[in-house]
Amino acid sequence: MSISHAVHTDSYRPLDRSAPVFVAGRSGLVGSALWRLLKAEGFTSLLGPGSTDLDLRNRSAVFEWFAKHQPHAVILAAARVGGIKANDTRPTEFISDNLLIQVNVLDAALRHGVERLLFLGSSCIYPKHADQPIREEALLTGPLERTNEAYAIAKIAGITQVRSVRRQHGLPWICAMPTNLYGPGDNFHPEHSHVLPSLMRRFHQARIEQAPRVVNWGSGTPRREFLHTDDLARACLVLLERYDSDSPINVGTGEDLTIRELSDMVASAVGYEGAIEWDPTQPDGTPRKVLDISKIAALGWTPLIKLPDGIAETYAWYESTGPGGARLPRQ
Ligand code: GDP
At residue 10, the pLDDT reads 53
75: three-class secondary structure by DSSP = strand
* pLDDT per residue as tens digits for the range 160-185: 999 999 999 999 999 999 999 999 99
* pLDDT per residue as tens digits for the range 94-115: 999 999 999 999 999 999 999 9
Q: How confident is the model at residue 189 (pLDDT cuts 50, 70, 90)?
A: very high
Distance from Cα 325 to the centre of ligand 1, integer Å: 24
Distance from Cα 202 to the centre of ligand 1, integer Å: 13
Minimum CA distance residue for ligand 1 atom 19: 217
- Ligand 1 in reach of 263 Cβ (< 6 A): no
At residue 4, the pLDDT reads 46
- Ligand 1 in reach of 66 Cβ (< 6 A): no
What CATH number does domain 21-186+225-256+289-306 carry, 3.50.50.60, 2.60.40.10, 3.40.50.300, 3.40.50.720?
3.40.50.720
Minimum CA distance residue for ligand 1 atom 14: 284
Residue 327 has pLDDT above 80, yes or no: no
Minimum CA distance residue for ligand 1 atom 8: 83
Phi-psi sector, 34: left (phi>0), alpha (psi -120 to 50), beta: alpha
* pLDDT per residue as tens digits for the range 111-135: 999 999 999 999 999 999 999 999 9
At residue 5, the pLDDT reads 46
- Ligand 1 in reach of 148 Cβ (< 6 A): yes
Distance from Cα 84 to the centre of ligand 1, integer Å: 6
* pLDDT per residue as tens digits for the range 196-217: 999 999 999 999 999 999 999 9
Residues 12 and 241: their CA atoms lie apart, in Å, by 6
Q: Are 218 and 258 in contact (CB under 8 A)?
A: no
- Ligand 1 in reach of 218 Cβ (< 6 A): yes
Minimum CA distance residue for ligand 1 atom 23: 198
Annotated catalytic residue, options 12, 126, 151, 243: 151
At residue 330, the pLDDT reads 38
Residue 256 has pLDDT above 70, yes or no: yes
Phi, psi of 222 (to 5 degrees): -60, 150
Residues 72 and 183: their CA atoms lie apart, in Å, by 28
Q: Are 164 and 117 in contact (CB under 8 A)?
A: no
**What is the sign, positive or negative, of the torsion defined by CA atoms of 62, 120, 77, 189?**
positive
Secondary element (H or E) of residue 176: strand 174-178
SS3 content of the chain, % helix, strand, coil (to 5): 45, 15, 45
Q: Are 276 and 263 in contact (CB under 8 A)?
A: yes
Mean pLDDT, rounded, for 268-276: 98
Residue 75 has pLDDT above 50, yes or no: yes
Domain ranges of the chain: 21-186+225-256+289-306
Q: The pTM is what?
A: 0.95
Residue 329 has pLDDT above 50, yes or no: no
| Mean residue pLDDT across the chain | 94
Share of the chain above pLDDT 90, in %: 93
At residue 312, the pLDDT reads 98
Look up 126 and say whether it is catalytic. no
Residue whose C-alpha is closest to residue 98's, from 166, 31, 36, 149: 149
